[in-house]
């Protein structure tokens, strides 16, 4: 709340300084032209009239903007899949007579005052009482593509104002590790990951990450599918591996999976020989049993 008040006061001071600057430049131009003797009496009266107009417009603009207040929450932090509500409240001691009141994202308006609507992506609602006008934007099922600055803009008879809310995303993970295992390699991947992350591999206490690589693919929601493979010959004979998802923005592992690789009991040639021996033994047993009968 303190940050919001400070930024609003800074904007108002900036507007006042800009107005004074315009007035100062106007006076300087007028005095320069007069000193150069380039103005006749009629022209001098004409220029003086324009300078007076500039002063009055500037003063009216500053007075109006200072009389209008536009309140928002500076920042909202969300997890993937949550609904986020942004409210912009306009107030004034005078009748606003609103011409434009909207929430904008990436220059485009996403919610406008008086146009209540609801769909799968957003819910837009506007309410008013004697002194306040509220414009509420609810973002449904928020994803990383929805993160960023949302600008609330107001244009009214009293004055114009703007303020902004930043929607920030926490780390997201849709599914924990999915793996594929065979006798030559181990694969591990995570889906619905945000922000960008990497997979680290361990065999016991030995870090094998340098001998592997991580692949990322971004989906339409701004999340990532992160995958990595490791050749089992690069590990040790224990055939026990762990893949861990490292999220640099958090500075920690957010998920891990222990993978036990089945040992290769015997070669295919040994299996064929064993099956052949078993078949011969069964035939001999069958013949001996017949002879005894």
Helices and strands per DSSP (H, E), number in the chain: 3, 18
49 and 103 together in one domain = no
224 and 255 together in one domain = yes
18 and 56 together in one domain = yes
In whole angstroms, give the CA distance from residue 226 to residue 260: 21
Q: Tens digits of per-residue pLDDT, 40-68? A: 554 444 544 544 444 444 444 444 446 88
Structure tokens that stand for 213 in this block: 């690589």
Q: What is the pTM of this model?
A: 0.66
Residues of the chain with pLDDT under 50: 1-9, 11-12, 14-19, 21, 27, 39, 42-45, 47-48, 50-65, 235-237, 265-272, 274-278, 281-282, 285, 290, 293
The reply to whether 271 falls in a domain is no
Task: Note down the domain range covering 199.
Answer: 175-260
84 and 163 together in one domain = yes
pLDDT attached to residue 94: 85
The reply to whether 184 falls in a domain is yes
156 and 101 together in one domain = yes
Task: For residue 26, give the nearest of 49, 60, 3, 5 by alpha carbon.
Answer: 49
Read off the CATH number of the domain in which 220 is found: 2.60.40.10
The reply to whether 265 falls in a domain is no
Final residue belonging to a domain, choices 169, 185, 217? 169
Q: Tens digits of per-residue pLDDT, 240-270? A: 889 999 999 999 999 999 988 766 533 444 4
Q: 55 and 119 in contact (C-beta within 8 Å)?
A: no
DSSP label of 136: E
The reply to whether 287 falls in a domain is no
Give the total number of structural domains in the chain.
Answer: 3
Final residue belonging to a domain, choices 169, 194, 212? 169
């Amino acid at each position: 709340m303190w940050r919001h008040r400070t930024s609003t006061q800074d904007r108002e001071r900036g507007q006042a300084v800009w107005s004074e600057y315009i007035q100062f430049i106007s006076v300087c131009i007028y005095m320069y032209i007069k000193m150069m003797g380039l103005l006749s009496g009629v022209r001098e009266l004409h220029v003086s009239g324009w300078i007076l107009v500039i002063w009055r417009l500037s003063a009216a603009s500053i007075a109006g903007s200072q009389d209008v207040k536009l309140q928002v929450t500076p920042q909202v932090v969300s997890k993937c899949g949550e609904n986020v509500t942004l409210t912009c409240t306009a107030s004034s001691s005078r009748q606003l007579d609103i011409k434009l009141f909207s929430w904008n994202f990436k220059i485009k308006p996403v919610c406008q005052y008086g146009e209540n609507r609801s769909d799968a992506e957003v819910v837009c609602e506007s309410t008013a009482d004697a002194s306040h006008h509220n414009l509420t934007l609810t973002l449904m099922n928020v994803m990383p593509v929805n993160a960023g600055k949302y600008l609330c803009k107001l244009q009214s008879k009293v004055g114009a104002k703007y303020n902004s809310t930043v929607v920030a995303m926490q780390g997201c993970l849709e599914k924990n590790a999915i793996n594929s295992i065979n006798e030559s390699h181990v694969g591990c991947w995570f889906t619905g990951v945000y922000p960008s992350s990497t997979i680290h591999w361990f065999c016991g206490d030995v870090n094998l990450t340098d001998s592997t690589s991580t692949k990322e693919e971004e989906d339409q929601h701004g999340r990532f599918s992160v995958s990595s493979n490791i050749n089992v010959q690069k590990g040790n004979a224990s055939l026990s591996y762990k893949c861990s998802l490292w999220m640099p923005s958090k500075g920690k592992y957010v998920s891990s999976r222990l993978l036990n690789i089945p040992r290769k009991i015997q070669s295919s040639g040994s299996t064929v020989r064993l099956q052949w021996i078993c078949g011969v033994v069964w035939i001999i047993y069958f013949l001996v049993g017949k002879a005894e009968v």
